[in-house]
Amino acid sequence: MDTAPATPTPSIVETEDDPTPIVLIVAATLRRAEETPKLAAMMRGAKGNVALRSTVDPQAATIRFAGGRVRVERGVAPDADVTISTDVNRMADEDAPKPKVSGAAAHARLALMAGKVLEPPAGPWRDEARRWWTRVADHPRMPRGIHVVCTDERSQITLGTEPVEFEIHGTAHRLTALFSGGTVFGQEVLDGHLYAVGSLEHLAELTGRSIDVLLGRR
């Protein structure tokens, strides 16, 4: 007897209309946290408003937890219960600066929950790479295959088909950050965190797809 495929459970996370990039990034992070049942339950049970503010540029977003739902809006709302100030451009770094949190004394449970869901767990870099590839491989200008080389583990995997047209080299931490949607590929290459072997066309294409994943578009 044939059975219909299970219908995906709708996300409890939504955004304002015409969201800014930081709103999309925060929403994508929360949806990733939602994949972990314990974190999803924490978000459904939370009540209060948490603001995330960049210390290096004007980027800011407010997360509203209420009625089992989560809404992300631009800016620091005046009714924020907890405000987290951090260098949002370095949140994926291994030595990321410790954020400053205001309002935690009065709203300890909300602050603790926010800290957990804004840093959802990631799997091994190989698993994250395979998951990332399934999201982006169908784009028409993607390379047919890439080698991913982990420099500190001295291991590699092939994504797609051979002969590959591109290679990505980096540490397990930087590879995990990229493939879990935490960084932009081209910027990682420019900053020397990752190394690329291949054409500029494919570098640009992979950068575009990494932005899609970062913003939750894929």
Are 18 and 110 members of one domain? yes
Q: What is the pLDDT of residues 83-137, one digit of tens each?
A: 999 998 888 888 888 899 999 999 999 999 999 999 999 999 999 999 999 999 9
Task: Pull the structure tokens for residue 159.
Answer: 């994504």
Q: What is the pLDDT of residues 45-95, one digit of tens each?
A: 999 999 999 999 999 999 999 999 999 999 999 999 999 999 988 888 888
Q: What is the CATH number of the domain that holds 30?
A: 3.30.1050.10
**pLDDT band (50, 70, 90) for residue 217:** confident
Whether 5 maps to a domain, the answer reads no
The last residue of a domain, from among 100, 117, 134? 117
Instruction: Check residue 92 and give its pLDDT.
Output: 84
Whether 55 maps to a domain, the answer reads yes
The last residue of a domain, from among 77, 96, 117? 117
The last residue of a domain, from among 84, 117, 150? 117
Helix, strand, coil percent values for the chain (each to nearest 5):
35, 25, 40
Are 102 and 52 members of one domain? yes
Residues spanned by the domain of 196: 125-214
pLDDT at 1 over 60: no
Region of residue 198 (left: phi > 0; alpha: psi -120 to 50; beta: else): left
Contacts of 164 (CB under 8 A, 6+ apart): 143, 144, 145, 146, 147, 158
Q: What is the pLDDT of residues 138-169, one digit of tens each?
A: 998 999 999 999 999 999 999 999 999 999 99
